[in-house]
Structure 1
Amino acid sequence: MGKMAAAVGSAATLAAEPGEDAFRKLFRFYRQSRPGTADLGGVIDFSAAHTARGAGPGAPKVVRSQLSVCSVSESDALRAGLQPVSTWRAYGLEGYPGFIFIPNPFLPGYQWHWVKQCLKFYPQKPNVCNLDKHMAREENQDVWEQSKALLRCKEVTKRRPRSLLEKLRWVTLGYHYNWDSKKYSADHYTPFPSDLAFLSEQVAAACGFQGFQAEAGILNYYRLDSTLGIHVDRSELDLSKPLLSFSFGQSAIFLLGGLRRDEAPTAMFMHSGDIMVMSGSSRLLNHAVPRVLPSAQEGNLPLCLGTPLPAALPRDTVVEPCSVEDQQLCASYLKTARVNMTVRQVVATDQDFPVEAAEESERDITKEGICHLEDKITHGKRVRLDPDS
């Protein structure tokens, strides 16, 4: 108990010290944290029964969030692979109006559909990914097929090269996000996946956002040594709409700060299946991911991924069957990785995409750069990739 109090105290001390901004200090603290130790004693775990008391001295109080239960029928929730909204647990934090955290509302086994989509289908052309900067279009036309042989290997070793899938860092869906101009491109629009649009619409409606339209998605692919730097998502033209975040695979620490970086952030766990909604006053807050946390027994999957997708699916579901081979390959990938999908509405319902934003697409998208989704490469260099910073 004394060690845990010391760790929580050290995090609070770092946040209060003058000089470098409080957010970055805590980012570094959690990036270097040791799983299974008191370092994580101040991290809120919304999936635990005691979350209503918060975590650590000075932590924001965890409160229950009200959902719009009647806005999503049980049949529509089932179509998206979700439990009835009446059974969801939703939380917020005092001082963060508009922030909603929903611990894994997916039906048992249904996460596998979304994992498979993120790994097998969403990276396919014409969607844009980080590999386009280094490879000809035909070389990464089908990342999944080109990665299957290597993914069948049980372990990643120094002798075994990484597959294309393991080199994937981001994919954009719908309106393509230009990392250089920090604007969305209308000319590089690709059809937004109908299944992900339906899932997003149900989650948004349950959180009180009727009429939400999924127009852009950014998929981030994390290895165990990856981090997502401090940033604000402000490039959407209609900021009144929420940002939806879906996590799958290994757990991570998420830091939610304030409007300025001298405001200390609140740390929380993101587990597989968890959904976060940033809206209202929380839509423009600084946030980051300093740490991906491997399972307690290295190389294992989270317990919620221990159930396969049911063989018999509802007739009108947007969820598709997942073969044994596909699930095995997805599982092999997720043992050392996590995937995050963020879905956004870019323009208002009655708004046209501005001409100047479309003109930005004339920039060569294969030369776009830099973001703060980082991971260490074996030779010590870092690859930097990131959504709006």
Structure 2
Amino acid sequence: MGKMAATVGSVATLAAEPGEDAFRKLFRFYRQSRPGTADLGAVIDFSAAHAACGTGPCAHKVQTEELPAPPVTSPCSLEGLQGFVFIPNPFLPGYQWHWVKQCLKLYSQKPNVCNLDKHMTQEETQDLWEQSKEFLRYKEANKRRPRSLLEKLRWVTLGYHYNWDSKKYSADHYTPFPSDLAFLSEQVATACGFQGFRAEAGILNYYRLDSTLGIHVDRSELDHSKPLLSFSFGQSAIFLLGGLKRDEEPTAMFMHSGDIMVMSGFSRLLNHAVPRVLPSPQGDSLPCCLEMPLPAVLPRDSVVEPCSEEDWQVCTSYLKTARVNMTVRQVLATDQDFPLEPMEEKKRDITTEGFCYLDDESSQVKRVKLNPDS
């Protein structure tokens, strides 16, 4: 209890920089936080919500959420934030292996667009997995070597591509949405009461330990009545969920491997950000939930595919110092089409970074700052 009070006090007395709002102030606090200290004492841990209830200033906000078709674990919500549902890791043992492998090996392939396309040819980014797997497999033997292409990957778009310059989706650069991810997303949406959800666009964010995701609102989808789904894998991170305006102080929570977040209704257009990816307390190691392999025999109707030991060795090397987040959206309402755009809009570079970007301290690319009003 004393550590919690110390944390709240340190946050409250944190000096604001000129022009800094309440969200940015807390973002900066957690960006500079020290794992293993009282700095993280006020961060909600939904995987241990039952133990946190009744202690600390934020615990009273956590409540059990009743869903039409509840998943394996008990979903939670936050009092006063209608439409926000947090599902602590509902994946069966070993099943996260499939999604990690897909994000690194399959979803990163062409024709999907990624941040590396801005500075490299399509031939150079054709198969990031094949170009990187040997580097990652023997990473322990030479930690000082340059980063592989997979380690330089920051984002990939699926389905309708998001134009980072115009902040709009376009049908001109559509790539087939992965059927397994569509199935997973539609199952989660249905469990939360959203019948008929269509997975039309996905943004995969690849975080290093020094990466952050700037404060933003996901409002570019043309239909806001459908939920935003978020899936996390790998190292844990701190997620900040604020209000409609930046002067509202956000709530901090942990995102662990396998956790799912659903933002709908009122929470669909709230400010949010990721100020910190947390290194494993045990050093270079994986979360416990990733240590158990996939079952040798999978159900015949399963969308999950086997993952070889060789492939998982590459994934393990990558995830020891990284996390991957998949966000899935329905862009259009039923029977809705994209509005016609001027020709100048279509000519803009589709890989220009400038909205909801991942930033890290070691990046050599000059990044456009996030628009505070985005």
Is the Cα–Cα contact under 8 Å of residues 165 and 348 in structure 2 kept in the other structure?
A: no
* Cα deviations by residue, 1:32-90 (Å, 9 ceiling, x for unpaired): 00101100000000001435626632565111111112xxxxxxxxxxxxxxx453210
User: 1:125 aligned to 2:110?
Assistant: yes
Label 1:302 to 1:6 Cα distance change in 2 as closer, same or farther (>3 A): same
SS in 1 for 2:30: helix
Is the Cα–Cα contact under 8 Å of residues 15 and 23 in structure 1 kept in the other structure?
A: no
User: 2:53 — aligned with what?
Assistant: 53
The 5 Å alignment of 1:317-328 reads 317-328=302-313
Label 1:133 to 1:17 Cα distance change in 2 as closer, same or farther (>3 A): closer
Structure 2 counterpart of 1:92, which letter? S
From 179, 183, 189, the counterpart of 1:204: 189
Deviation at 1:149, TM superposition (A): 1.3
User: 2:322 — aligned with what?
Assistant: 337
SS in 2 for 1:253: strand
SS in 1 for 2:81: coil
Deviation at 1:6, TM superposition (A): 1.1
The 5 Å alignment of 1:1-389 reads 1-14=1-14, 20-50=20-50, 53=53, 56-57=56-57, 61-69=61-69, 85=70, 87-155=72-140, 159-356=144-341, 360-369=345-354, 371-377=356-362, 389=374
Is the Cα–Cα contact under 8 Å of residues 371 and 386 in structure 1 kept in the other structure?
A: yes
Deviation at 1:383, TM superposition (A): 5.2
Is the Cα–Cα contact under 8 Å of residues 52 and 59 in structure 2 kept in the other structure?
A: no
Structure 2 counterpart of 1:292, which letter? V
Deviation at 1:293, TM superposition (A): 0.5
SS in 2 for 1:151: helix
SS in 2 for 1:314: coil
Label 1:371 to 1:158 Cα distance change in 2 as closer, same or farther (>3 A): farther
Label 1:179 to 1:54 Cα distance change in 2 as closer, same or farther (>3 A): farther
Instruction: Work out the CA distance in 2 between the residues paired with 1:238 and 1:307.
Output: 39
Instruction: Work out the CA distance in 2 between the residues paired with 1:157 and 1:285.
Output: 43
* Cα deviations by residue, 1:113-136 (Å, 9 ceiling, x for unpaired): 000000000011100000000100
Deviation at 1:268, TM superposition (A): 0.2
Label 1:4 to 1:137 Cα distance change in 2 as closer, same or farther (>3 A): same
Is the Cα–Cα contact under 8 Å of residues 188 and 361 in structure 1 kept in the other structure?
A: no
Deviation at 1:359, TM superposition (A): 7.4
Percent identity (aligned)? 80
Instruction: Work out the CA distance in 1 between the residues paired with 2:351 and 2:231.
Output: 26
In the alignment, structure 2 segments of 5+ residues that lack a partner are none
Instruction: Work out the CA distance in 2 between the residues paired with 1:267 and 1:114.
Output: 26
Is the Cα–Cα contact under 8 Å of residues 199 and 328 in structure 2 kept in the other structure?
A: yes
Instruction: Work out the CA distance in 2 between the residues paired with 1:186 and 1:378.
Output: 30
SS in 2 for 1:283: helix
Label 1:210 to 1:386 Cα distance change in 2 as closer, same or farther (>3 A): farther
Structure 2 counterpart of 1:320, which letter? E
Instruction: Work out the CA distance in 1 between the residues paired with 2:250 and 2:15.
Output: 8
Label 1:265 to 1:308 Cα distance change in 2 as closer, same or farther (>3 A): same
Count residues in correspondence.
373
Instruction: Work out the CA distance in 2 between the residues paired with 1:386 and 1:129.
Output: 19
SS in 1 for 2:328: strand
Is the Cα–Cα contact under 8 Å of residues 232 and 286 in structure 1 kept in the other structure?
A: yes
Label 1:248 to 1:288 Cα distance change in 2 as closer, same or farther (>3 A): same
Is the Cα–Cα contact under 8 Å of residues 173 and 190 in structure 1 kept in the other structure?
A: yes
Structure 2 counterpart of 1:356, which letter? E
Is the Cα–Cα contact under 8 Å of residues 220 and 339 in structure 1 kept in the other structure?
A: yes
Instruction: Work out the CA distance in 2 between the residues paired with 1:370 and 1:240.
Output: 22
Is the Cα–Cα contact under 8 Å of residues 354 and 367 in structure 2 kept in the other structure?
A: no
In the alignment, structure 1 segments of 5+ residues that lack a partner are 70-84
Label 1:253 to 1:185 Cα distance change in 2 as closer, same or farther (>3 A): same
